[in-house]
Amino acid sequence: MERSKILQYCIDLFKNLPSVGPKTAERFVYFLLNNPKLLDELILVLSQVKEKITSCKYCNDFSETNPCHICSDEKRDRKLLCVVEKHADIYAIESSGYKGLYYILSPIISPLEGKMLKDVKIESLLTRIINVEKEMQPQEVIIALSFTTEGELTTNYIVEKLKEKIVNIKISRIAYGLPTGAEIEYADPKTLSFAIKNRISL
Ligand SMILES: [Zn+2]
């Protein structure tokens, strides 16, 4: 039996989402058709997300305000800039009690996904460090990328570039207590807190 073209198109769009295969996509679409109230709410909230959520000019995180609530918080320690890969990492590090600022560097080097050195937006990171208002300039960059091959490759690259382009800045990396292969997103608050306090100068 041939399916409606619109329905098929909708299922095909769902298949683009991470971890969603054809069967799951189909289940999602039929579930929504059977739950019109949820469908209405999703349509509404997705249009609001598109309209109101922007990327923070300082940290790249998605936010309803620009700068985001973390970057605009004057009580935070603006001398510290923690480089992470994704929003979930900020969420994890926040739970450790860290009170500095963040910078999301995405993508990181990932040969398997075809992301190489040239894909790392190093210029944007350098701009965030050097060409910002004086009160936003960090004195220390803390690299908190995951302890995976991708994270290691990217960390080495960032350190090399920072040392080449910027003098008088401290560069460190969270380390202690996080095993090789560990993803920041899944680390517990205590381990992360310890890893940040005992960060290693590079
Ligand atoms: Zn921000």
Does one domain contain both 45 and 81?
no
Whether the predicted interface score ipTM is above 0.85: yes
Distance 179 CA to ligand 1 centre (A): 29
Question: Does 20 have pLDDT greater than 90?
Answer: yes
Question: Does 191 have pLDDT greater than 80?
Answer: yes
DSSP notation for 185-198: GGS-HHHHHHHHHT
- How far apart are alpha carbons 95 and 81 in whole angstroms? 16
**pLDDT tens profile 121-160:** 899 999 999 999 999 999 999 999 988 888 889 999 999 9
- How far apart are alpha carbons 61 and 56 in whole angstroms? 5
Distance 42 CA to ligand 1 centre (A): 26
Distance 199 CA to ligand 1 centre (A): 23
- For residue 110, is it within any domain? yes
The domain that holds 36 is classified in CATH as: 1.10.8.420
Distance 57 CA to ligand 1 centre (A): 6
Question: Does 179 have pLDDT greater than 80?
Answer: no
pLDDT at position 184 is 85
Q: Which domain holds residue 22?
A: 5-52
